[in-house]
Amino acid sequence: MGPDPDLARAAAAALGNISAAKELRAALATTKGATRVAVADASLICAERLLAGGKRAEAMALYASLSATDIPPPLRLAAMNGIIREEPAIGRPK
């Protein structure tokens, strides 16, 4: 019997809620399918929590890992939105 997908998704959500960026980046590299989507979603939550906690560099690194081409497009776009929103060097229309 393989790993329990519900347990894996719950674990990913817990990692996102405790801002465990390093662990989530490691999980992104090793998961597939629905579990990978859950890890990516938890990573977005983690990045937002890191930003709120003043850990901008960690959040930006997590967003960067989520902008890879093998991340599902809606999650990749959300990560890119975070990068654009937080990167002061990117010109914005006024």
pLDDT at 20 over 80: yes
Domain boundaries defined on the chain: 5-86
Instruction: Give the pLDDT mean for 13-28.
Output: 89
Q: Residues, the chain, total?
A: 94
Element (H, E) at 40: helix 33-52
Looking at residue 1, its pLDDT comes to 35
Q: What is the pLDDT of residues 38-85, one digit of tens each?
A: 999 999 999 999 999 999 999 999 999 999 888 999 999 999 999 998
| Cα distance between residue 93 and residue 78, in whole Å | 19
Name the nearest CA neighbour of 75 among 23, 16, 18, 22. 16
